[in-house]
Amino acid sequence: MHSHPLRQSKKQRKTMADNNPIRFGIMGCAEIARKVSRAIHLAPDSILYAIASRSIQKAKQFAVKNGLSETVKVYGSYDELLDDPCVDAVYMPLPTSLHVQWAVMAAEKKKHLMLEKPTALDVGQLDRILEACSVNGVQFMDASMWYHHPRTAKIKELLSDSKTFGQIRVIHSSSSFLGTPEFLEKRVKPDLNALGALGDAGWYCIGAIMWAKNYQLPTTVTALPAIARNTTGVILSCNASLHWDKEQTTATFYCSFLSNESMDLAISGSNGSLNLEDFIIPFTETSASFEFTSGAKFLDLHIGWNVKSKRVQVTSELPQEAMMVQDFVELVKGIKHSGCKPDGKWPEISRVTQLVMDAVNNSIDLGFKPVTM
Amino acid sequence: MHSHPLRQSKKQRKTMADNNPIRFGIMGCAEIARKVSRAIHLAPDSILYAIASRSIQKAKQFAVKNGLSETVKVYGSYDELLDDPCVDAVYMPLPTSLHVQWAVMAAEKKKHLMLEKPTALDVGQLDRILEACSVNGVQFMDASMWYHHPRTAKIKELLSDSKTFGQIRVIHSSSSFLGTPEFLEKRVKPDLNALGALGDAGWYCIGAIMWAKNYQLPTTVTALPAIARNTTGVILSCNASLHWDKEQTTATFYCSFLSNESMDLAISGSNGSLNLEDFIIPFTETSASFEFTSGAKFLDLHIGWNVKSKRVQVTSELPQEAMMVQDFVELVKGIKHSGCKPDGKWPEISRVTQLVMDAVNNSIDLGFKPVTM
């Protein structure tokens, strides 16, 4: 049995108790909820207030296994959690096919919404969720953690420097891990996780590419004629390319449950190149790095380079998922206490990611033909 | 003016003078010939015997600029060099469109042939060259240097280890540099270098992918709908994907004259991943590295990895181009002195590379449709 990270760090952290923390409810006791419950604990001004599962036993087990405080409420149904007026915000790691139903309901109950990715089965479903959030004035954010790491901001700074980096020419990303046979055949279910590796691992690749391109939609999206599915038809591995006609930028990505863990992001511009191998989850929590070169040229005789790739190290006080919670909580506090409007940036990020994912799926269905956006 | 690397290192190297060195003639005074003349000088059992250009002035300039010994013969025509019976082997850095004519003639004059890449405009031309080499019993090798670096062998060892690396799932390669406007519009000519960035930079990417796959032809080759050409129609930048149906391997590559210098190779297998950023020309001559992980898994809570990527350093006594010359010379010596047959491995490597390059070109011509191999 593992030690309880929540219990361990509890005292050190929330000593300067926040007067008015944002109270989270977690809907669904998936494995990833363990990580996010810790993040809620570590982030300032946030508190885990309640958890819910479809069965009270499962919820209780989760509480015990993760050393949650006994003050955390435990519900045996999602409805009960949503009906609790003390819950400010919901983190929802439910299977994808259940998102639209429960996310819309959460918004209608005025709960701010942190939704696991992929956000929905398609952009039509996501639009219903975003519309419900908009109408009810609640903040939406998908739970992609890496956007919130300071390394991500540092890379963006570099990408935006036209002298150091220039125009982005090509982006390549991969996200993979090696699923066990049991995972591949039983955990990835067409009725629950119909988007398979594209929805899970591919979400990050598409997000990274769109992030690099400042969320400007590509001209075309083309799935590559290379796809693996399990016996129920769910995608276990696929590849796609995105193309921006005017800027002559091309991106390719690979997402898979059939490969050694990889989280690569490589971007080349007219003047610079950068790459990192752990963009989704840094190798370690306290420090992360990336490598870049700028103005690379051959030495005379082409026997070497005028530069070696430079490693840029970025430290972080909080784990990136706690920074995600922190960013979300700041927005929720603004709405709750200061009458701010929900921030439209995060819904837009999710929406373009989902749109491109839909295009990849369409391209696959069309026999790997380019889909014009 | 640069110092003369040939003159500098001359004394240290060939002191234990070889009794019977292989005598090279260089046909064409291209920039790359400077690097190879140094390599011929550094490699054991090889000597630069003659150089030829279409004009005697250009050949003389090359000799002076590169500090060649005054004993090196200087010819003002390619025919004269090929008619010199003392020339054992020819290194030919001519423009691609001239390869078939002069390479066939060199073979007919019984000269062993080290041919710059791309080897020909298409596999039909290359087959004429290879046929001439075969009929005349001369060794053929294209001048891709990186195959000969000990790092390459070390990576291959890792890739071949089914426990450490497993099955290859995905390969991504890029080869690019930023051409000057003058280079892009004037140096890349449709009549001389019709294959543009695909032939020049793409040759390495295709070669690396095919090398990783042990030269097994892919099921399909598909150019991506992203291509840049100069005003004369020559490719300045393109992307393609290769797919092996049975093994479910996918490869993508990017080759370009429009991007910061990059030479990336990333390979992911079921159990391992590796990457390097300088696979074509190592950052430095004496030592080169690559990074790899094997058996990578998330830590509990998915807050990090169980491994960090490991850097493997490989030192080399000779620059890789000198090792290329050395490998070539060994084969030529075997043929010349011991009655060995030419080694069929190197022609085969060039041929599959050219075949895949042809398929990329076909796919482009077909509007980016998959081409079945």
Note the helical H segments in chain A.
5-13, 31-42, 56-65, 78-83, 99-108, 123-136, 150-159, 181-182, 196-212, 320-338, 345-365
Cβ-defined contact of A301 to B35 (cutoff 8 Å): yes
Cβ-defined contact of B226 to A243 (cutoff 8 Å): yes
Report the number of distinct structural domains present in chain B: 2
Whether residue B86 sits in one domain with residue B184: no
Question: How does residue B105 score in pLDDT terms, banded at 50, 70 and 90?
Answer: very high
Cβ-defined contact of B260 to A270 (cutoff 8 Å): yes
Q: Is the pLDDT of residue A132 over 70?
A: yes
| Number of other residues whose CB lies within 10 A of the CB of residue B256 | 31
- Is the confidence metric ipTM above 0.85 for this complex? yes
Contacts of B38 in chain A (CB under 8 A): 301, 303
Cβ-defined contact of A222 to B224 (cutoff 8 Å): yes
Structural domain includes residue B276: yes
Q: Which residue from A174, A273, A284 is facing B262, i.e. has the nearest CB?
A: A273
Q: Is the pLDDT of residue B240 over 70?
A: yes
Whether residue A186 sits in one domain with residue A165: yes
Q: Which residue from B38, B273, B295 is facing A262, i.e. has the nearest CB?
A: B273
Cβ-defined contact of B304 to A285 (cutoff 8 Å): yes
Whether residue B204 sits in one domain with residue B83: no
Structural domain includes residue B348: no
Question: Tokens 């490989």 appear where?
Answer: B314
Whether residue A128 sits in one domain with residue A107: yes
CB of B286 less than 8 A from some CB of A: no
Cβ-defined contact of B283 to A304 (cutoff 8 Å): yes
Residue A258 has a pLDDT of 94
Q: With a CB-CB cutoff of 8 Å, which residues 303-322 of chain B face chain A?
A: 303-305, 308-309, 319, 321
Question: How does residue A261 score in pLDDT terms, banded at 50, 70 and 90?
Answer: very high
Structural domain includes residue B121: yes
Contacts of A248 in chain B (CB under 8 A): 226, 228, 237, 258
pLDDT, one tens digit per residue, over B129-152 is 999 999 999 999 999 999 999 999
Question: How does residue A347 score in pLDDT terms, banded at 50, 70 and 90?
Answer: very high
Nearest chain B alpha carbon to A261: B296
Q: Is the pLDDT of residue B14 over 70?
A: no
Whether residue B66 sits in one domain with residue B129: yes
Residue B191 has a pLDDT of 87
Q: Which residue from A176, A225, A252 is facing B268, i.e. has the nearest CB?
A: A176
Structural domain includes residue B93: yes
Q: Is the pLDDT of residue B2 over 50?
A: no
Q: With a CB-CB cutoff of 8 Å, which residues 140-179 of chain A face chain B?
A: 166, 169-170, 172, 174, 176-178
CB of A296 less than 8 A from some CB of B: yes
How far is Cα A40 from Cα A47, in angstroms, rounded to an integer?
6
Residue B147 has a pLDDT of 98
Q: Are A37 and A6 in contact (CB under 8 A)?
A: yes
Whether residue A264 sits in one domain with residue A122: no
Whether residue B185 sits in one domain with residue B112: no
Nearest chain A alpha carbon to B238: A250
Whether residue B106 sits in one domain with residue B31: yes
Whether residue A361 sits in one domain with residue A212: yes
pLDDT, one tens digit per residue, over A269-309 is 999 999 999 999 999 999 999 999 999 888 888 888 888 88
Among candidate residues A223, A285, A286, A217, the one with its CA nearest the CA of residue A253? A223
3-state secondary structure chain B: CCCCHHHHHHHHHCCCCCCCCEEEEEECCCHHHHHHHHHHHHCCCEEEEEEECCCHHHHHHHHHHCCCCCCCEEECCHHHHHHCCCCCEEEECCCHHHHHHHHHHHHHCCCEEEECCCCCCCHHHHHHHHHHHHHCCCCEEECCCHHHCHHHHHHHHHHCCCCCCCCEEEEEEEEEEECCHHHHHHHCCCCCCCCHHHHHHHHHHHHHHHHHCCCCCCCEEEEEEEEEECCCCCEEEEEEEEEECCCCEEEEEEEECEEEEEEEEEEEECCEEEEECECCCCCCCCEEEEEEEECCCECHHHCCECCCCEEEEEECCCCHHHHHHHHHHHHHHHHHHHCCCCCCHHHHHHHHHHHHHHHHHHHHHCCCCCEEC
Whether residue A154 sits in one domain with residue A140: no
Q: With a CB-CB cutoff of 8 Å, which residues 52-111 of chain A face chain B?
A: none
Residue A18 has a pLDDT of 52
Structural domain includes residue B234: yes
CB of A37 less than 8 A from some CB of B: no
pLDDT, one tens digit per residue, over A203-219 is 999 999 999 999 999 99
Report the CATH number that the domain containing residue A176 is assigned in CATH. 3.30.360.10
Q: Is the pLDDT of residue B298 over 80?
A: yes
Which range marks the domain in which residue B97 is found?
Answer: 5-146+322-343
Q: Is the pLDDT of residue B11 over 90?
A: no
Report the CATH number that the domain containing residue A87 is assigned in CATH. 3.40.50.720
Q: Is the pLDDT of residue B19 over 50?
A: yes
Contacts of B268 in chain A (CB under 8 A): 174, 176, 254, 256, 259-260, 262
Question: Tokens 């696991």 appear where?
Answer: A116
Which of A111, A117, A213, A333 is the catalytic position? A117
Residue A301 has a pLDDT of 84
Contacts of B271 in chain A (CB under 8 A): 178, 260
Selection from A220-229, A295-304, B80-89 with the highest mean pLDDT: B80-89
Residue A13 has a pLDDT of 47
Structural domain includes residue B15: yes
Whether residue B338 sits in one domain with residue B304: no
Q: How many CB pairs under 8 A join A and B?
A: 233
pLDDT, one tens digit per residue, over A109-124 is 999 999 999 999 999 9
Cβ-defined contact of A225 to B220 (cutoff 8 Å): yes
CB of A275 less than 8 A from some CB of B: yes
Q: Which residue from A2, A250, A301 is facing B5, i.e. has the nearest CB?
A: A301
A117 in active site: yes
- The alpha carbon of B288 is separated from its chain's Cα centroid by a whole number of angstroms, namely 17
Cβ-defined contact of A305 to B281 (cutoff 8 Å): yes
Cβ-defined contact of A250 to B239 (cutoff 8 Å): yes
Instruction: Kindly list the distances between the CA atom of residue A306 and the CA atoms of A289, A291, A299, B259, in Å, as whole numbers in the listed order.
Output: 22, 16, 6, 16
Contacts of B35 in chain A (CB under 8 A): 301-303
| Number of other residues whose CB lies within 10 A of the CB of residue A287 | 12
Q: With a CB-CB cutoff of 8 Å, which residues 177-216 of chain B face chain A?
A: 177-178
Per-residue pLDDT averaged across A2-12, rounded? 43
Whether residue A134 sits in one domain with residue A154: no
